[in-house]
Amino acid sequence: MIQTHRKVRRRYEALLTDEELKNIRIIRLTSRAEMSEFLASIPSVEADG
């Protein structure tokens, strides 16, 4: 079994508080429902193809 969730989570939590990244907007989605709602809120863009 892969056991990296805790380590990866700590690394991302540390990045979220990094002063060098303070200008980056972090969107934390904690469920599939939140992800679906977020993606549905993004306007679609037609490709000029």
Query: pLDDT in tens for each of the 49 residues of the chain?
Result: 567 878 888 888 888 888 888 888 888 888 999 999 999 999 988 766 5
Cα–Cα distance measured from residue 37 to residue 49, given in angstroms and rounded to the nearest whole number: 28
pTM of the predicted structure, to 2 decimals: 0.52
**5 HSE (CA, 13 A, CB side):** 3
